[in-house]
Structure 1
Amino acid sequence: MVFSVPLTNSSGSRNLKEQMNNQRPVQSKVKNLKKTKPKAKTDSRRAFTPKTRNSRDSNLKKLQQKILKKKPTIKEIVREPTSGGIVFRLTKDKKDIEVLLIQDSKNRWTIPKGHIEPGETAKQTAIREIGEEAGLNHIQVLSWLGKIHFKYRRIDKLVLMTTQIYLVRSLDTTERPTKEKWMNGIKWFSFQDAINVIEYEDIEKLMLIAKKRIRQGEY
């Protein structure tokens, strides 16, 4: 007996192909890796290449400028004793007080003062300096007000200045002050204006003491 195997029809074949085509492909779990370029090796010779000549010259110039701007080291301390006076006068009607100030070469208003010469007392220096710097010769030293301290540099020297200050009255109200060549000005001020324009705070404090003494007549 001969058995025959039935063959699938064409429609069945098409169904099988369609099923196979409809199946989704299985994705690989291995991700695509990006290709990376190998890092370039650092050339040690280039890493320590000296700077260009222009850069070296620029740094040298900056160093020279820094050295020039640097203040010289203080090699000596110098003490300078000086003396001066707060000079005042009464107005013609004797109702107001005026104070004499001089203006130095840097436009700073201050009082007449100067160095104490060898053999001079501080009081004698005050009289002499007022005569030289203000041209006032008819004056009277009434009392000592106090002393103030300044310090400044003179190249490689530190100068410590001590100024003795006296209360001085101008006896001749008509006497006109005359300034020296190095001054920018000389002027009588009202007491309040003098306090407002005076350059140095320590002198201002002594001016307030002077004003109180004059008002109270306690010379």
Structure 2
Amino acid sequence: MAELRAAGLIIFRRMAAEIEYLLMQTSYGIHHWTPPKGHVDPGESDRETALRETHEEAGLGTEHFKVIEDFKHELRYSVNGKPKTVIYWMAELLEPKTPITMSNEHQDYKWLPLSEACELVGYPDLIKALKECDKYLKQQEQ
């Protein structure tokens, strides 16, 4: 059975003393909220997918953010009985007021502090990923 594979970026910005995370609401299915991500195309690396999907879904190119090279989080779960792996890197938006340009795959987006972001996503594995990002960022500040 072929494994489903996706990759994306957990994008954050610093607003005053607060860190906010970008979440996008899908325009399909149950309209769940996630960071920008998508399926890995044949011949594409996970990293290439994460960058491409972020550009396609949020209008953010590599000139808009800095990828945190030493942070990578892997989620594994099942979708319709098939195993799926999602790889997330973390990236900081360089200019906090950079506009988001949504694709037709999404109907809304929000910048939220950790607690509100965790409440909105609802999925325990994604909540864990967001909390690990936040923990990493707080450790870097010490």
TM-score by length of 2: 0.87
Corresponding residue pairs, total: 136
Higher relative contact order at CA 8 Å, sep ≥6: structure 1 or structure 2? 2
Q: Which residue of 2 aligns with 1:151?
A: 78
Question: Which of these residues, 9, 18, 25, is aligned with residue 103 of structure 1?
Answer: 25
Q: Greater strand percent: which structure?
A: 2
Instruction: Report the identity percentage.
Output: 30
- Using the TM superposition, give the Cα deviation of residue 188 of structure 1 relative to its aligned residue in structure 2, in angstroms: 0.9
CA distance in 1: counterparts of 2:51 and 2:105, whole angstroms: 19
Give the letter aligned to residue 99 of structure 2: R
After TM superposition, the structure 1 = structure 2 runs for residues 182-193 of structure 1, keeping only pairs within 5 Å, are: 182-193=105-116
Runs of 4+ in 1 over 6 A off after TM superposition: none
Unpaired segments ≥5 residues, structure 2: none
Shift in Å, 1:78: 2.8
Alignment of 1:3-14 (within 5 A): none
Instruction: Say whether residues 1:200 and 2:123 are aligned partners.
Output: yes
- Displacement after TM superposition at 1:148 (Å): 0.8
Structure with higher helix content: 1
Q: Distance in 2 between the 1:152 and 1:213 partners?
A: 29
One-letter amino acid matched to 1:144: F
Query: In 2, Cα distance between the equivalents of 1:166 and 1:127?
Result: 10
List runs of 5+ in structure 1 lacking aligned partners: 1-76
- Given the alignment of the two structures, is residue 141 of structure 1 paired with residue 67 of structure 2, yes or no? yes
Superposition deviation, residue 214 in structure 1: 0.8
Matches within 5 A, 1:37-48: none
Amino acid at match of 2:65: I
Q: Which structure has the larger Rg?
A: 1
Aligned-residue RMSD, C-alpha: 1.6
